[in-house]
Amino acid sequence: MGKRPGISAYILPALGLLLALVFLLWPDVGPGTPGVLPGVLAAGSVALLCGSAFSAVGHADVVAARLGQPWGTLLLTLSVTIIEVSVMASMMLNGENNPTLARESVLSVLMIVNAGIVGLCLLLGSIRHREQTIQQQGASGYLSAIIALGVMLLILPNETHAGATGAFSLFQLVYMSLIAIALYAAFLYMQTVRYREHFAGQAEGHGEPVPGLSAFLLAIGMLLASLAAVVALSGQVAATFEDFLAQFSLEDPDAVTGALVATLILLPECISAVRAAARNHLQHSLNIALGSALATVSLTIPAMAFISVMIGRSMVLGLDNEDRTMLLLTFVLSVLSFGTGKTNALNGVIHLIVFCVYVMLLFAP
């Protein structure tokens, strides 16, 4: 943290907002329209959305360096969550009703983070530093909240009297959404006030310069601009993804779409987490990765539930049998990996093997 973003972090959000304005003024050049120009603009919208997402993370790093930890990691997590919600909302509003999109996207985030990103961090960090230590109380806090919300929001819907089709009733959906928000608020209080030391890593940010006030204010402005560009382009990217996947005979296109969205959104955080693990700041790495998973399950589902109620579209949250098995396996594995407060390369290899099985099930369920 504290490193000033490159010039592209200022140019890409501006280009993204400009392209979004083009789509707004000339809707005939949007995705699905025949011709070369719409195809080029669709590819450009995907590239600029990715670039704006990376820019948002870069500017969030500058703001975080001024605010300190754990506020910096929290800001990064919430920024990525806003991006994810905007893309998912655009995909939900695009075309026909897609009731399982929220479920598949949240499941993909949990699997990519807890199996893929965590496994990569543990493996690369251990290869370089042999064994790494973490704050066991902090990791347990993350996992307790993630497991509780994951089970209540993705597994419980199949077990209730109203959940024969994997969906909560309207009352249950609203109630569980409020529960998720309340639990996340309680966790944030514990993380930032009551037990702040449980989430602090060793020698994080040591010797790095703190940005001045002008750089801090500029970073805030560019962070907002980057997020605005992502939100503005998300509708075009959503339509582009769905048009592209429609060309293939996928057995479960919603699962592939959800994984694609999650991968796109989590890529900047994955890079930040892996870099932190390579610098032997594994606790900071886990704060980024597990914080993203927790924010996704506790904030994205309530946001999507609100949208689904407002537009009158159903939302199925209950997981299929194979997804439920993989999610529970990943939860158990995470508890065992972080249970001793020390990690090694074997933990990382096992997480990555589970992730490879999950990827296989996306295309051959």
Asked whether residue 28 is domain-assigned, the answer is yes
Q: How far is it, in rounded angstroms, from Cα 63 to Cα 142?
A: 24
Instruction: Provide the pLDDT for residue 266.
Output: 78
Asked whether residue 2 is domain-assigned, the answer is no
Domain of residue 56: give its range: 8-363
Q: How far is it, in rounded angstroms, from Cα 214 to Cα 355?
A: 43
Instruction: Provide the pLDDT for residue 183.
Output: 95
Question: Residues 152-179: what's their mean pLDDT?
Answer: 85
Instruction: Count up the domains in the chain and report the number.
Output: 1
Question: Residues 155-162: what's their mean pLDDT?
Answer: 82
Q: How many other C-beta atoms lie within 10 A of the C-beta of residue 314?
A: 13
- For the record, the structure tokens of 120 come out as 């990569």
> Which pLDDT tens digit goes with each residue over 88-103?
776 666 656 677 878 8
> Which pLDDT tens digit goes with each residue over 231-279?
778 777 767 777 777 777 777 777 887 787 778 777 777 877 888 888 8
Asked whether residue 244 is domain-assigned, the answer is yes
Confidence band of 205 (pLDDT split at 50, 70, 90)? very low
Has residue 2 got a pLDDT over 50?
no
- 266: domain CATH number? 1.20.1420.30
Q: How far is it, in rounded angstroms, from Cα 24 to Cα 165?
A: 38
Q: How far is it, in rounded angstroms, from Cα 287 to Cα 138?
A: 9
Higher-pLDDT residue of 184 and 235 is: 184
Has residue 185 got a pLDDT over 70?
yes
Element (H, E) at 342: strand 342-343
HSE at residue 241, side-chain half, CA atoms within 13 A, is 28
Has residue 82 got a pLDDT over 90?
no
Asked whether residue 112 is domain-assigned, the answer is yes
Asked whether residue 202 is domain-assigned, the answer is yes
User: pLDDT above 70 covers what percent of the chain?
Assistant: 89
Instruction: Provide the pLDDT for residue 330.
Output: 95
